[in-house]
Amino acid sequence: MSNIIPAGGGAMPKVHSSQYRAAWQKCRDLGKQLSKALAETGDNEFAFISPSTAEHPVCFGQIQSDTQMPLEYPLDQVERLASRLSFALDDWGNYTGWKGIAHVYPASSGRGVWFENALARSGDENTMQALGRLRLITDEAARLLQSYPELEIDRIVVNEHGIHTKLRVPGLEKAAEIDPLLGAIQAYFAGVKAMSDLPSGSVTAENEDALIEQTYGAPQRALLEWDRPAITKEAAIAALKFIGDERMIVDSLGEPLRLAVVRFLETL
């Protein structure tokens, strides 16, 4: 199961109080007034405002005519924003019970920001180092495929049997790799396993809904709304086995699966 939180997920950041929002609105209003007052002086100066507890809460400086000195250097900005993100993750965790890790990449990389389930980061130090090395290798492989399209490699598959490259054949229609119904069933079982593998005591009444959404919630909804026939015999067999499986948490899953098998048989 992917540890990435979907954009439409149920987990939401902690809502700040009305006093907090009012304080920031006051900061914005006074900041605009100060900016206007600086312009009215006719001097080429800037203001630097810190909390009143600072040693020098209000400072003024001259803006150089040949260069614009930043009020905050890039490294300082990164450290400040990273610190705020760290505290925001705690707020998010306190509100939802979900513990996350944020991955932030340069905007120019096109990889954006994504979140990982911290509970999945179990294992000893050697395991984590191995996962880190594997991520570096796969990232480098992805960059090579993007940089050299002339290789005509559609994808690289790595498993216990070795490394396999799948070539892109022009003019050949790409076939479906897996029956969609079979894929949904497999995703559901993987999500149920991920839920059952969570540490004892980590599921509470407050965070259960969020954890279900992060594990088997999406594939379960997909199966409940399934209205298409199975395409392959393998998917039809998997659906029949699923109907009698003890891991079927919601009984109403049986009817759409039964109809998918019946519609498959009608095509034979």
Best CA proximity match to 117, nearest among 11, 43, 229: 11
Residue whose pair of structure tokens reads 């306190």 in the numeric block: 94
Buried/exposed code over 202-235 (b: 16+ C-beta within 10 A; e: otherwise): ebeeebeebbbbbbbbbbbebbeebeebbbeeeb
Best CA proximity match to 95, nearest among 10, 214, 6: 10
Residue 168: alpha-carbon gap to chain centroid: 29
Report CA dihedral (6, 7, 9, 10) to the nearest 10 degrees.
Answer: 150
pLDDT tens per residue across span 226-240: 888 888 889 899 998
In terms of C-beta density within 10 A (0-12 exposed, 13-18 middle, 19 or more buried), how is residue 191 classed? Answer: buried
Is the pLDDT confidence value at 124 over 60? no
Cβ-based neighbours of 192, under 8 Å, separated by 6 or more = 215, 216, 247, 249
**In whole angstroms, how far apart are CA 57 and each of 36, 64, 74?**
19, 22, 22
If one compares 203 and 139, the residue with the highest pLDDT of the two is 203
Contact present, 3 and 116 (Cβ < 8 Å)? yes
What pLDDT score was predicted for residue 72? 65
Is the pLDDT confidence value at 42 over 80? yes
Phi-psi region of 20 (alpha: psi -120 to 50; beta: other; left: phi over 0): alpha
What is the helix (H) or strand (E) element at residue 116, kind and residue range?
A: strand 113-117
| Segment 164-172 mean pLDDT | 64
Contact present, 217 and 253 (Cβ < 8 Å)? no
Q: How confident is the model at residue 16 (pLDDT cuts 50, 70, 90)?
A: low
What is the helix (H) or strand (E) element at residue 138, kind and residue range?
A: helix 125-147
The one-letter amino acid code at 193 reads K
Q: How confident is the model at residue 177 (pLDDT cuts 50, 70, 90)?
A: low
Q: How confident is the model at residue 9 (pLDDT cuts 50, 70, 90)?
A: very low
If one compares 31 and 161, the residue with the highest pLDDT of the two is 31
Contact present, 226 and 260 (Cβ < 8 Å)? yes
Is the pLDDT confidence value at 190 over 80? yes
Q: What pTM did the predictor assign? A: 0.36
Q: What is the DSSP string of 174-209?
A: PPPSS-HHHHHHHHHHHHHHHHHTSPTT---TTTHH
With a pLDDT cut of 70, the percent of the chain lying above it is 74
Is the pLDDT confidence value at 152 over 80? no
Least confident of 31-45, 75-89, 106-120, 175-189: 106-120
| Segment 136-148 mean pLDDT | 77
Vertex 106: Cα angle to 101 and 110 (nearest 5): 95
Contact present, 96 and 12 (Cβ < 8 Å)? yes
Q: How confident is the model at residue 120 (pLDDT cuts 50, 70, 90)?
A: low
Residues in the chain: 268
Q: How confident is the model at residue 172 (pLDDT cuts 50, 70, 90)?
A: low
pLDDT tens per residue across span 94-109: 777 777 788 887 877 7
What pLDDT score was predicted for residue 237? 92
